[in-house]
Amino acid sequence: MKSQPPVKEGQVISLSVTGLSHDGNGVGKYEDFAVFVPFAVPGEFVRVRITQVKKTWARGKLLEVLEPHPDRTEPKCAVFEACGGCQSQHLTYEAQLRHKWKQVKDCFGRIAGMDDVVIHPVIGMEDPWRYRNKSQVPFGVSGGRVVAGFYRPGTHEIVDMESCLIQHATNDRVVRAVKELVRELRIPVYNEQTHRGVLRHVMARSATTGQLMVVLVTNGPELPKKRRLVDGLVKRLPDLTSLVQNINERRTNVILGPENRVLWGEDCIIDRIGHVEFTISPHSFFQVNPMQTRVLYDQVVKLAALTGEETVIDAYCGTGTIALYLANRAKRVLGVEIVPEAIRDARRNAERNGIRHVRFETGAAEDVMPRWLEEGIRPDVIVVDPPRKGCDPKLLETAVNMRPKRIIYVSCNPATLARDAKRLLELGYPTVEVQPVDMFPQTGHVECVAWMRRPD
């Protein structure tokens, strides 16, 4: 007979917090049973009310910190615990970086069985605030009043806010301006339950060039009081470059629909990473932390060790950001991506920068790269930058079959990075070193660049 969990919902317990989960929650043991406690700090002794019980773990609400740890600090944001935008403001920044390093180290040990890999200290930010260049904020109604903000964790309840301390200040100005005008003009906002109303989300993109894009996501093509709304935003936002209406009529959690209509200004904005300029449209993928993106890409350059004579393949190339950043250091760069719109943007960006020794193709990398091999292409370096789920196993085998000197793996998920590193080791490409980069301060996320080397 299976033993029952030693806790039940509503029970109040005390326990020691011994670690952090991958999403930033404190973790402790009660009678050898795992309990996750949001906003608890490793090293603390806390009092907790159990809110959820599963077979092998429970979740609790932090009631009191009985013995605080020096890593605890006062969150700067007034709605930090209510909002799901970030998870780690209660930790000092130094502690955040240590725990992110430990997360990477633990994944390589536990998942890959690779305890001897060199994992460098996390490269953090000098000022870990106001870094996000893109916000996507849902609009709704609460208590008869229009609200805009991020969702309460685990719900679709909007936490109304006037400022987000990890967003670029310009994005805050955009949300405030739209909220004021929607209230003033009585424009109906979207209701998820009834699928009625007009304004669903507002997206703001602030470029390092000073340009600003605002996207109004609407539940259908109609936008009441459109002329007055446009005039009001142009007046309130002097740096506005592009104002777009995106139409999303589907019942979905996906924010953007397929159709864009320019309401004012340009259809895109220009942003820059180092020496390369990029055209950004509403659907374009672009890293949200421009300062740390350059740090991340410089680590790719460093680990790729290019001399100017190499052929480089960028798998999962997206809109070509890494491929174009590497291009002036390589003889030839080839990028492959399954999303046709991203390849269109990549070619557009190459043309904009006058980079002619790059080639971008649409398709699954694991299908396109074998054909390149048949064409006689022998890459010296392969760069992969997959989504959170990691690389397709066939892609890893294809990459190894091309026999590059180095594989550079850019990852937003240490767990899938470690899983794929284990497979690459089995295929003959051991991981030499890993450099974590803090792209998302005040959250539990960490980005990594890893170098896998072909044995000579």
Structure tokens at 140: 């709704």
d(C-alpha 168, C-alpha 288), whole Å:
10
In a domain? residue 145: yes
Same domain for 308 and 246, yes or no, is no
In a domain, 390, yes or no: yes
- 113 domain residue, yes or no: yes
CA distances from 246 to 122, 172, 203, 259, 432 (A): 38, 20, 10, 6, 45
**Could you tell me if 234 and 347 lie in one domain?**
no
Full residue range of the structural domain in which residue 305 is found: 102-125+289-453
417 shares its domain with 301: yes
Confidence of residue 355 (pLDDT cuts 50, 70, 90): very high
- The answer on 261 and 115 residing in a single domain is no
Tell me the one-letter amino acid at 37.
V
Q: Supply 321's token pair.
A: 């950001």
At which residue do the structure tokens 């190339």 appear? 317
Return mean pLDDT, the chain: 96
218 DSSP β-pair partners = 199, 247
pLDDT tens readout for residues 180-230: 999 999 999 999 999 999 999 999 999 999 999 999 999 999 999 999 999
The pLDDT value given to residue 2: 59
In 252-336, which residue ranges form alpha helices assigned H by DSSP?
A: 290-304, 321-327
Same domain, 324 and 220: no
Q: What is the pTM of this model?
A: 0.93
Number of domains in the chain: 3
User: Mind listing the pLDDT tens digit for each residue in 234-255?
Assistant: 999 999 999 999 999 999 999 9
Residues 295 and 384 in one domain: yes
Cα torsion at 333, 336, 340, 343 (round to 10°)?
-20
Q: How far apart are CA 115 and CA 421, in angstroms?
A: 12
Give the residue numbers marked as catalytic: 412
For the stretch 154-178, pLDDT in tens is 888 999 998 999 999 999 999 999 9
Neighbours of 20 (CB within 10 A): 25
- Other Cβ atoms within 10 Å of 453 Cβ, number: 16
Residue 92 covered by a domain: no
Give the DSSP H/E element, type plus range, for residue 99. helix 93-110
In a domain, 183, yes or no: yes
Let me know whether 310 and 419 are in one domain.
Answer: yes
Q: State the Cα–Cα distance between residues 309 and 312, nearest whole angstrom.
A: 10
440 and 308 assigned to the same domain: yes
CATH number for the domain spanning 369: value is 3.40.50.150
Q: Is residue 209 part of a domain?
A: yes
Same domain for 315 and 431, yes or no, is yes
What is the reported pLDDT for 202? 98
Predicted confidence band at 1 (pLDDT cuts at 50, 70, 90)?
A: very low
